[in-house]
Amino acid sequence: MTQAPVRSRTVRRQHDREIVALAVPAFGALVAEPLFVMADSAIVGHLGTAQLAGLGVASALLTTAVSVFIFLAYATTAAVARRVGAGDLPSAIRQGMDGIWLALLLGAAVIAVVLPTAPFLVDLFGASTTAAPYATTYLRISALGIPAMLVVLASTGVLRGLQDTRTPLYVAIAGFLANAALNAGLVYGAGLGIAGSAWGTVIAQCGMAAAYLVVVVRGARRHGASLRPDAAGIRASAQAGVPLLVRTLSLRAILMIATAVAARLGDADIAAHQIILSLWSLLAFALDAIAIAGQAIIGRYLGAGDSRGAREVCHRMVEWGIAVGIGLGLLVVLARPAFLPLFTGDAAVKDAALPALIIVAVSQPICGVVFVLDGVLMGAGDGPYLAWAMLITLAVFTPVALLVPVLGGGLTAVWVAMTLMMTVRMLTLWLRTRSGRWVVTGATR
């Protein structure tokens, strides 16, 4: 009579240990990434307003270019984890190398596009005449580091698939420290100005990529996996990434529409929106860490042919997502009085932000479920469904958001629309996981 509950508690504890072991280091690595931009901003900001504005435009362009290719991490994690679960480590590392070669090819293509078009891209993002030269300089130099950035994404996916999130954390910390030191030395010590900041970032990113490659190459040699580019494998990695690219672009479109709508509401609303969006993104790191654990664990269970284990860990991670979401929501409510003064002393901006922050707080449990189920389906290699689900979400969100300036409600209505968007995502993901169609076992999907 008591064996089932005892087993259930034992399984839950096992899953909890796995989730924590992967999610905590993943969270640290995720938080380290935006610190790169913060360090650059802090150092360049003392050069002048025009230089800082130029950095802002160039960083936005670079962030967009790199985030589009986040599938290099997601798709690689799922593919490698499946092969780890199947007990085929040489094939797992070989799959990871295909993702790394794809990253290098995509990085070279991005450089070929960005270098000649940098002035046009800077102008497209609305840089002022004084900031544009600095933005162009930073963008052209930093673009040289894009292949390294993409290799970092793909290599991170390899290690996550191998159930290792500690190494990415160590590399991210080392990269941040190197970036800060190089930026300070080149900007002021060498007198290179904003160009020194760009070169510092490029060198740091190349160092991170080199560290990852050392780890992956050692693993390949230890298990006898080939390091040579394989056309069929690279093509398969690209095909697996296309649906996730569609998903990412759809999500980017949603965020851009929300920002455009907020901008039409007035200066106070767009300023408040940027503050809230920065907080929303920070909260997303905590939830995304659980999703990353889900990608790695689910892929491993399915690769091992353990469909029951995959379902059990999925259920447990949803519980984690809800619990963390509730905790983050309460934290937002309690921290509101201290949070807003860090960004603004404008009463109008605070008045616009306060009710919208309540909406953000209430929506966090929904966000928790969305991030977890997103990670589960990514780990299962269910990319095509994720792409269609996000396109449906975009189709629902767009008309609702565009009606906000017409119907009124201000920034609060914008974030109600954002909550609706997350609710639609939750429903589409829940229906898929409930159907069980994502549970496809084996070394490949």
Residue listed under structure tokens 């005892």: 6
Whether the Cβ atoms of residue 365 and residue 325 lie closer than 8 Å to each other: yes
What average pLDDT does the chain have?
89
Highest-confidence range of 99-113, 184-198, 275-289, by mean pLDDT? 99-113
Whether the Cβ atoms of residue 93 and residue 101 lie closer than 8 Å to each other: no
What band does 423 get if pLDDT is binned at 50, 70 and 90?
very high
Whether the Cβ atoms of residue 411 and residue 273 lie closer than 8 Å to each other: yes
What band does 2 get if pLDDT is binned at 50, 70 and 90?
very low
Could you write out the three-class secondary structure of 292-351?
Answer: HHHHHHHHHHHHCCCHHHHHHHHHHHHHHHHHHHHHHHHHHHHHHHHHHHHCCCCHHHHH
Residue listed under structure tokens 């269609």: 388
Q: Shortest CA distance to 205 belongs to which of 227, 174, 229?
A: 174
d(CA 349, CA 270): 9
d(CA 169, CA 217): 19
pTM of the full structure:
0.89
pLDDT for residue 265 is more than 50: yes
**pLDDT score recorded for residue 104:** 95
Burial degree of 240 (CB within 10 A; 0-12, 13-18, 19+): buried
Mean pLDDT, to the nearest integer, of 21-36? 82
Q: What is the pLDDT of residues 191-223, one digit of tens each?
A: 888 999 999 999 999 999 999 999 999 999 998
Distances (CA, A) of 294 to 18, 64, 145, 351: 10, 25, 30, 38
Mean pLDDT, to the nearest integer, of 220-241? 90
d(CA 247, CA 385): 9
pLDDT for residue 439 is more than 90: yes
Q: What is the pLDDT of residues 130-140, one digit of tens each?
A: 888 998 999 99
Of 25-29, 192-196, 290-294, where does mean pLDDT reach its minimum?
A: 25-29
d(CA 55, CA 44): 8
Whether the Cβ atoms of residue 123 and residue 57 lie closer than 8 Å to each other: no
pLDDT for residue 368 is more than 50: yes
**pLDDT score recorded for residue 5:** 54
Whether the Cβ atoms of residue 321 and residue 283 lie closer than 8 Å to each other: no
What band does 32 get if pLDDT is binned at 50, 70 and 90?
confident
d(CA 308, CA 290): 20
pLDDT for residue 1 is more than 70: no
Backbone angles phi, psi at 130, to 5 degrees: -80, -30
Whether the Cβ atoms of residue 101 and residue 126 lie closer than 8 Å to each other: no
